[in-house]
Each structure stands twice: as structure tokens, then as C-alpha cells.
Amino acid sequence: MTHDTSAILALLPHRYPMLLVDRVESLVVDTSVRCIKAVSMNEPFFQGHFPGRPIMPGVLIVEALAQAAGVLAVESLGLAGTGKLVYFMAIEDAKFRKPVEPGCLLALDVTFVQRRATVCKFAGVASVDGEKVAEARFTAMIADAPA
């Protein structure tokens, strides 16, 4: 299963400049997802991170992994169109191995570690050209959108 940007917009509440998933390359319901983030010099965070040596902030790489997990959760749990949101609860064992620069295609591979009715745990790896640049384990909660 693959998705383009319009399908991703139907699954996630994020919008520019916080939408960090550009394409879903593969999705196996209840198991895993591979998404792509095209890292462009036009990203607003590059203006200050860092002038003369632009790198994608690690926290945004983890956010991109979490958004990929959101796509996996929404598709696996049948949440599309329900108004339910996937909220970050915890980040564990985050490691950053190499800088991510403009012009990179950031691959976001996320798998389910544990799945309950309203809480899911995931493991994610971000890579560029097959080389791991970051990884983390994280937990998310499924909840109603605020009124």
C-alpha cells in the first residue's frame, strides 16, 4: 500500500510547516510503514539551524518518525475519518548518528512494538541512502480531538 501527499493529508492533521511525511512507499497494516521525507533547503528551520551548515534538527527527525507511526496507526486501527488523533506520549532510546542535510531523501521505517486499544508502542529508524541517521522507540495514545 502506498500513499501520495493528498492521501497523507487525509490521514494526519499536520499541515505545513509541520507535515514531515511526503510519501508512503510501503505500508503493511498492523506491522510496518516506510515513509519518505524530502529534505529541502526551503524548510523554515534551516534559517537558524545552522547558518552556513544547515542540518535538520534531531527533534524533527523524531517527529517525522512519529508522523510515519501516525500513518501506520490510523491505517491499522481504521481511524481515518473518525476524528481520533494519535498523540506522542514518550520517546525512549533516541540516538542520532549522522547529520541530515538539505537535498537528502530521509527514509522513515517504523514498526509496531506493542498495540493496545488506545496506546501503541513503535520502533523507528531514519536513514539516508541506506545509512542509519537516527533511531528511537516511542509511545503514542489514540484520543479524541479537543472540542
| Per-residue model confidence as pLDDT tens digits over 11-61 | 999 999 999 999 999 999 999 999 999 999 999 999 999 989 999 999 999
Tell me if 70 sits within 8 A of 86, measured CB to CB: yes
For residue 124, the enclosing domain spans 5-144
Q: Report the C-alpha gap between 136 and 83 in whole angstroms.
A: 27
How many domains are contained in the chain? 1
Query: How far is CA 59 from each of CA 75, 91, 95, rounded to the nearest angstrom?
Result: 24, 10, 11
User: How many Cβ atoms are within 10 Å of 60's Cβ, its own excluded?
Assistant: 18
Q: Which pTM was predicted?
A: 0.96
CA atoms within 13 A on the CB side of 35: 31
* 49 noted as active-site residue: yes
pLDDT tens-digit profile of 87-140?
999 999 999 999 999 999 999 999 999 998 899 999 999 999 999 999 999 999
For residue 26, give the CATH number of its domain.
Answer: 3.10.129.10
Identified catalytic residue from 14, 23, 49, 137: 49
Query: How far is CA 3 from each of CA 21, 33, 135, rounded to the nearest angstrom?
Result: 10, 11, 23
